[in-house]
Structure 1
Amino acid sequence: EHASGKPFVEWQFIVFRHNEHELEATERMAYEMGINKFTPLPAYVEDENWAATDPRYRTDLGNPERLYNCDRPWSHLNVRADGGVAPCCYTFFKKDDFGNVDDDSFMEIWNNDHFRTSRRIIARTRKKLPLEKSDIACYDCMRTGIRPSFIEVAQEVQLDTQPARQARESS
């Protein structure tokens, strides 16, 4: 509409064991659709049933060097199909959305209480300063080091932690 080179659209594909076989076909589809950049990302999981077999898409969450390095609330946002805006692609519950593009402008969402709180949480964890409990998704994120385990999250929401095994058994 404004003849701008923006927005720059990036498709981020979170690689799990159950979908890593789709990586090449998904990348082809992204570029055929005119997506500017395709980025495969590791899933932040500790359960081997979920973890990708390709070492490029695995994480070592026990390594402190992997923690405290999130820049997402300052550099990214994710818009879901329903217009919901998430701070990153690692949140997957609607309750964790920071807004909706159908209801508010980009700038209103980018500077709202949710984004400001998430930035404060991450800045404080980098400095290892105490935090007040928050219902913002970044508070419970494994990348910040506050919640140490994907398994805790899965158990909390009664998520089945055996999808890869079940998918293999059913095929």
Structure 2
Amino acid sequence: MAYGAPSPPPIAPRRIRLEASSFCQLRCPSCPTTTGAIQPAIGSGFLKFEDFRQLVDRNPEIERIEISNYGEIFLNPQLVDILEYAHRKHIAVTIENSVNLNNAREDMLEALVRYEVQIMRCSIDGASAETYRIYRVRGDFDAVISNIRAINAFKRQYGSELPRLVWQFIVFGHNEHELPVARAMAAELGMGFNAKMNWDPKLSPIRDENFVRAQLGDAPISRAEYEQKNGHKYLSSLCHQLWDDPQINWDGKMLGCCRNFWGDFGGNAFTDGLAAGVNHEKMQYARQMLTGQRGPRNDIPCSTCEMYQDMQKRARFIDR
């Protein structure tokens, strides 16, 4: 391993990730937003429209922005203005880290369609109100379905196929029996369907493995099974975000990837500029860590992450 590796060339990403809101009204048991684990690095706040406008105006090379991460975007009171401005500037907006879609003003639902949001992933872990609220504490299943129907009505009104909607279903022991019903409901609502593995094996573990395997096909039913099959951690591909679409907090702090809530990388995209933020010395060093060119450093958030720790253990680093 080369500890004295030269500084890598700067990056100029055309895609970024920008948290629209770090607040969430639900209290999902294993979520780091619920537990408060995100507070030291991410804090509580909304992306301000003026910060968004200036970032976009100063960086005309940006083509795509993902706006969801640890919070619920529909709690941001300036969401409609943000979506409208992105559309005016021909920037594709995605909402793939998911929303809970419990509380959204009608104008926000219309804005998703009117301003051509590309895709939105909705976290719906059940096909009934009783099952859904076991994990989505404080959630209202009927309100979510009603909001999806409202979005579909706006899609018909505008003659648009956007946003593409995806029903994301985290598979637990308490909801596995509703997988077929949820899949059918998603089809009826014109949504894609994605069954997702639970990251916390101690929380409501799968009860009928044979049934779940039949529902998921060849997909692994646990992250441990995925790791054994593929030789690396599930979602380790997120590390590529430090190059391809770096995560920026609602206040401009550089977080690197969407998984990081341990600390920032020193720069600020709003006050220092995007180029300076994504190429801050700590970001550059982190990219060298992830490619195995440099060793871990205590002030780099990646050193805390199990993805990087697994790379070290296996001596299998990111291949760029």
* TM-score bucket (shorter structure): 0.5 to 0.7
The amino acid of 1:80's aligned partner reads: N
Structure 2 match to 1:78: 247
Contact 2:260 2:301 in 1 (8 A): yes
Matches within 5 A, 1:119-138: 119-124=287-292, 131-138=295-302
Structure 2 match to 1:92: 261
1:46 Cα deviation after fit: 3.9
Q: Partners of 1:89 and 1:121 in 2: how far apart?
A: 18
1:100 Cα deviation after fit: 1.3
Of residues 75-84 and 131-140 in structure 1, the stretch that sits farther from structure 2 once superposed is 131-140
Q: Partners of 2:247 and 2:205 in 1: how far apart?
A: 23
Of residues 69-78 and 47-56 in structure 1, the stretch that sits farther from structure 2 once superposed is 47-56
Structure 1 match to 2:284: 116
Structural RMSD (CA): 4.5
TM-score, normalization by structure 1: 0.54
- Segments of 5+ residues of structure 1 without an aligned counterpart are 15-21, 149-171
1:119 Cα deviation after fit: 0.6
State which structure, 1 or 2, has the greater radius of gyration over its C-alpha atoms: 2
Of all paired residues, the percent bearing the same amino acid is: 14
Structure-2 change in CA distance of 1:13 and 1:38 (3 Å): farther
Contact 2:288 2:294 in 1 (8 A): no
The amino acid of 1:122's aligned partner reads: L
Matches within 5 A, 1:38-57: 38=120, 45-49=199-203
The amino acid of 1:25's aligned partner reads: L
Structure 2 match to 1:8: 64
Of residues 97-106 and 139-148 in structure 1, the stretch that sits farther from structure 2 once superposed is 139-148
Q: Partners of 1:79 and 1:98 in 2: how far apart?
A: 11
TM-score, normalization by structure 2: 0.32
- Segments of 5+ residues of structure 2 without an aligned counterpart are 1-56, 71-97, 103-107, 122-167, 169-193, 207-211, 314-320
Structure 2 match to 1:151: none
Structure-2 change in CA distance of 1:122 and 1:84 (3 Å): same
1:132 Cα deviation after fit: 4.0
Q: Partners of 1:85 and 1:143 in 2: how far apart?
A: 19
Structure-2 change in CA distance of 1:66 and 1:84 (3 Å): same
